[in-house]
Amino acid sequence: MRRLLGSVLVLGVAGLVAIGCGGKPEGQPIYSLGPTGPPTGAAATYDVRKFPNNPDGQVVSPTDVLTAHAFTITGSADFLDLISVNVELESVQGTNLDPSMFVTAYLLLDSVANMRADPAELASPVASTAVSFAANATPVTFSLNVPTFPAPYRINPGTSHDFIVALAVDPARIGPGIVGFQLEGKIPAAADLLLLDGTRNQIPATPGTGNFGDSSNPTLVGINHDLLISEIGMVGASVEFIEIYNPSPDVIDLANYHLTDFTDNGAANGYFRLPAGGGNFGPPGGAAVATTDFTVRFPGGQVNPGEVIVVAIDGDTFATFSGFTPSFCLRNPGAGQIPLMLTWDGTTGQVPVFPSPAVPAANGVTLDDNGESVILFWYDGGNVSGMAQDLVLDVDIVHYGINAQPQDKGGVGVDGFDPDTTASNYPAETPVLTQAANKAPIAAGSFQNTISRIDYFEGAEVRGGAGNGRANGDDETSEDWSNTFKAGPTTIGAP
C-alpha cells in the first residue's frame, strides 16, 4: 500500500492537508508565462510546472503533513520576486468535503525536494494566512501574499524553486465520515501568480502551452494508513462479529489479510509462527474441529476508502438476529451464501494451509465474552510455496477484557516457506504487562452491546519503523486500547 492515488487529510492539533496535483511531463511546461523585460533587455521567459503527488501519502499521526498541489517556478534571464499566489479549492466527483474545516493556508518551499511538507519547512513558510470558509461552500479561493520585508522572496536567473500549498485543519471538524471525499486545488489563471522583475514591473501573465485552470489527480481524503479493527461484538455466541474499517484513501485488496484470536502459551504458540508451517500458529487441528479459537484468511475481495466489512462467526444466524448481512463468516453461510473465510485445515509442514473451497469453522469457535485478543495481520506466503518471507506483519491488534492474552513476539525467530533455512527475528515489542494494562473494556449485557473504536489514530501508538506493523513499521502492540475503544450500543456497519 505504498503507492497512493492522492494525498490525505491529517487529523490532530496541527493537522494538514495539501491540495490537488498532477504529473510533471519532462520538456513541456504545464504553465508558461511571458517575457520578463528590462533590465536585461532579453526576451526571457520563465516556466511554472506542476510536479507529481507526494509518493508517500499515508497519514500515521496528527503531525504528518502531506503534499498534493505543488508547482515549480524556473527563472530565466532576469531575477523574479514572488509576490502572491491565488488558489482555488473545490470538491470534485460528487463529494461534499466541507471547506470550513480549514483554518490556515501555507505556501512552502520544498527545500529537500521530497514533495512533503516537512516540519522545518512549516516552521519557515514562504507565506501563510488564516482562512475562513463558509460551510459546504465550493469552490472557495484564498490568496497567499509573500512578505517583502526584510527582503523579497527572490528567484534568481536560471534557478528552479519547488513550492507546496498546504492547509491546516481544525481537528474538531475531522472524523471518519470524511474518508473517501475528494478535493482539488488549482491556480485558476496566469494572473493568479504574481511576480515582479528587476525593474519592479509585473511580469506579463499570458498562458502558454498549458492551462492554469486545469487540475488533475484530485486529493483523496483519508485519516490513517491501513485497515483498522473498528468494532467487536462478543456477547451472544450466535451474533459475534468483528468489524474492520478502511480509513485510508486507498482501495485495499484483502487477499493476503488474516484474522485470528489464537494467542496461547506465551511466545511458544501464536499466529506469528504461521510462516513456519508448523502446528503451533493456530488452534490444534484447525478451526474446522472442536475448538474455541480460529486462524483464518480472507478469501479475497477489497475494501473501498471509508467502507466497513463485517466478519461474523456464525453468518446466517448473525444476519437473522441483527438484520445485517455480514461480508464474511466463519461458519453457516446460509442460503444467501455469505462468503466463508478460509480456515486452517490442521495440516502442518505444507502449503496451502488455508485450502479453498473453504471448510466451515466448528460450532465451538467463539469470541470470549470476558476477554480476547483479536489480531488482523498480513502474510503473502500463506498459500504459495517458495515465498521468501519469514515473518507475518501486524495490521491491527485489539486486546479486551480480563481473558485477553497479549504476547511479546520480539526476538522470536521464524523460518518461512522459502528455500533457505535461515530464520528471521521479530522486532522488539511492548512488554506483555504493559499491553495487559492497556486492554479495552468488555461489553456486558445484551448482544446489542459491543466495543467500538473512538480513536482512528490509535492513540499514542509507537510509530517510526522499529515495530512489526505492515505500515511504516509501527508497533501495533503499543496502542492503549483502554482509551481508543469504548463499550456501548453497537454501531455495526458504520465506523
Checking DSSP bridges between strand 182-186 and strand 127-130, what pairing results, if any? unpaired
pLDDT value of position 194: 85
Is residue 332 within 8 Å of 314, Cβ to Cβ? Answer: yes
pLDDT per residue, tens digit, the chain (495 aa), is: 222 222 222 222 233 433 333 332 222 222 223 333 222 323 334 444 444 443 333 344 444 544 556 777 777 677 888 999 998 877 554 455 677 777 888 899 988 877 667 788 889 999 999 988 887 777 889 999 999 888 889 988 878 888 888 877 776 666 676 676 666 777 787 778 888 877 666 665 444 433 466 554 556 667 777 899 999 998 777 789 999 999 887 889 998 899 999 887 566 778 888 887 766 777 765 655 657 888 889 999 999 888 999 999 999 999 998 889 999 999 999 987 899 998 876 665 555 567 667 778 888 889 998 999 999 999 886 444 444 478 899 999 999 999 999 999 999 998 877 777 888 899 999 999 999 999 999 987 666 789 999 988 888 888 877 899 987 788 999 999 999 999 999 888 888
Per-residue pLDDT reduced to its tens digit, 483-493: 999 999 988 88
pLDDT value of position 44: 34
pLDDT value of position 285: 59
**Closest Cα to residue 323, out of 244, 204, 239, 211?**
239
- Give the CA-trace dihedral at 218, 222, 227, 230, to 10 degrees: -140
pLDDT value of position 260: 92
- Ranges of each domain in the chain: 16-220, 228-489
Within 10 Å of residue 247's Cβ, how many Cβ atoms?
27
Q: Which set of grid coordinates corresponds to residue 364?
A: 465451538
Within 10 Å of residue 473's Cβ, how many Cβ atoms?
15
Distance of CA 39 to the CA centre of its chain: 51
Per-residue pLDDT reduced to its tens digit, 307-338: 999 999 999 999 998 889 999 999 999 987 89
b/e 268-300 (16+ beta carbons within 10 angstroms → b): ebbbbbbbbbebebbbeebbbbebebbbbbbbe
Per-residue pLDDT reduced to its tens digit, 229-254: 999 998 777 789 999 999 887 889 99
Q: Which set of grid coordinates corresponds to residue 384?
A: 504459495
> What's the whole-model pTM score?
0.76
